[in-house]
Amino acid sequence: MNHIHPHPETHLSSSAMLQDIVIGLSDGLTVPFALAAGLSGAVQSSALVITAGLAEIVAGSIAMGLGGYLAGRTEVEHYQAELDREHREVQEVPHVERAEVDELLAEMGLSEATREQAVRELTSDPDQWVRFMMKYELGLEKPDPRQAWKSAVTISLAYALGGLIPLSAYFLTATPAEGLVWSAVITIVCLLVFGYIKSRITGQPPVMGALKMAGTGALAAAAAFLVARQFEGHF
């Protein structure tokens, strides 16, 4: 006799981790790159650019990680609040909730006779009833309570990794101007590759996605550089 073992579904967690990596890397590549470019237009010391860049990476990774954590906690708290509300409604107005179950099943194309039996079976167990309403009425899946911490760590590390890429050029060059040239080359190439891979994974046109990401980074850096140039010597 063949035993069928349940297949563990990892799509949701993998998708969440991919989303966190994308958020962290894209901001990490863009923001420190723009900061370093702006400083390169105003100062003559690579050490100053490196110091400011490292400080921004530390502050940015903490802020981004905290944002990911708070977003994860908010999702858990929202789900719990809706779950409590559904339990109350099932107890206090069961006839209304039964009518909603019947309506949802009708939208799925079930016949009246099938719906009648399905409603009776679904509403016989309050927990099962509430789970059905959460998923099909509200469109909510139970979030992983550990996802907040996972998101915080993933986004922070991805941001730090992304930020070190444009900054690395300043460690290897003598002047901020020279560092900016190499930083721009390295970062634009990385943005093109990252944008291409991200778009392929998410099903978007990869070439357009690569160009959009690289264009955003280049525009941010150019704006920061020009602003720094305009105010150079005024303070």
Q: Does 145 map to a domain? A: yes
Q: Is the dihedral of CA 36, 40, 42, 48 positive or negative?
A: positive
DSSP state at residue 135: I
Residue segments in the chain with a per-residue pLDDT below the cut of 50: 1-13, 235
* In-domain check, residue 6: no
Q: How many domains does the chain have?
A: 1
Asked if residue 147 is part of any domain, the answer here is yes
Residue 73: inside a domain, yes or no? yes
Give domain status of residue 161, yes or no: yes
Domain that holds residue 35: 15-230
Report CA 220 to chain centroid distance, whole Å.
20
Q: What is the pLDDT of residue 231?
A: 62
Q: What are the two backbone dihedrals, phi and then psi, of residue 4, each rounded to the nearest 5 degrees?
A: -95, 115
Residue 97 lies in a domain: yes
Own/partner pairs, 194-198, CB within 8 angstroms, 24+ separation: 194/25, 194/26, 194/29, 198/22, 198/26
H or E, element range at 125: none
In a domain, residue 1? The reply is no
Q: Tell whether 7 is covered by a domain.
A: no
Return the pLDDT at 192. 87
